[in-house]
Each structure stands twice: as structure tokens, then as C-alpha cells.
Amino acid sequence: MKGKEKSMGFLNCYCQRRIKEFGFDIVKEVFAGSNKKLCEEWLSSYESTNGFILGIGFFINIINIVIAYIISALVKYEKPHCTNQALISGTLKIFIAQFVNTVTLYPILGSHYLPSQLKD
């Protein structure tokens, strides 16, 4: 681990524990000798990372809903002979599309955009 990544790891343990004990007032706490509000920097990074992860999940769900709608509309144009064929065709296509969408986007987006201190 590099120096900044290692210090963020230590801050993660320290600041999470302090927030649970004393609440969010500890972000104003200045460390002796450095005159820095380290927990404030950590909290900002922590919140932005968690927000990004939630955003990815929301984005993937929206894409999956759109995919399901489009595929359901396209199945009608296949003109299946019976309702059972239409249901099987639509269900299989929706499952494959959503599975590929979810399985490919999480690792791709997660590996490129998450801050390095949270990749461990």
C-alpha cells in the first residue's frame, strides 16, 4: 500500500469508530501537530464513494427496466404461435439482457471510478 492509501485505511478505522461513539461533531476535530481535520476529509471521501455506488445501482436498475420494456415490445413483433412461446421468448431475452448488463457494468464502473483506498 502507498502512503496516502495506508493513512486512509487507518483513518477509516479511527473515524468510523469515533463517529459511532461521538457523532458527526468529530469532523471538526483538529489533530495535534497537523492542524488538519482528517476525519472531515475521510467523511467526504466515504460519502462520495457510497453515493457513487448507490448511483451505479440506480443506473443499472433503470437500464434494466428500459431493457425489459423494449424486449417486451419486440416480442410482439416476433408473432409467436401461442402465448407460451411469447412468454418463454420474452423471459429468456430479458433475463439474458439484464444479467449481462448487471454483471458487466458493476466490475467495469467499479474498477475504474472508485477511489483507490476502497479497492482493497
Q: Note the pLDDT tens digit of each residue in 9-57.
A: 677 777 888 778 777 777 777 777 777 777 777 787 778 878 887 888 8
User: Is residue 1 scored above 50 in pLDDT?
Assistant: no
User: Is residue 74 scored above 80 in pLDDT?
Assistant: yes
Q: What is the pLDDT of residue 114?
A: 52
pTM: 0.59
| Residues contacting residue 1 through CB under 8 Å, at least 6 positions apart | 9, 120
Q: Are 96 and 67 in contact (CB under 8 A)?
A: no
| Residues contacting residue 27 through CB under 8 Å, at least 6 positions apart | 37, 39, 40, 43
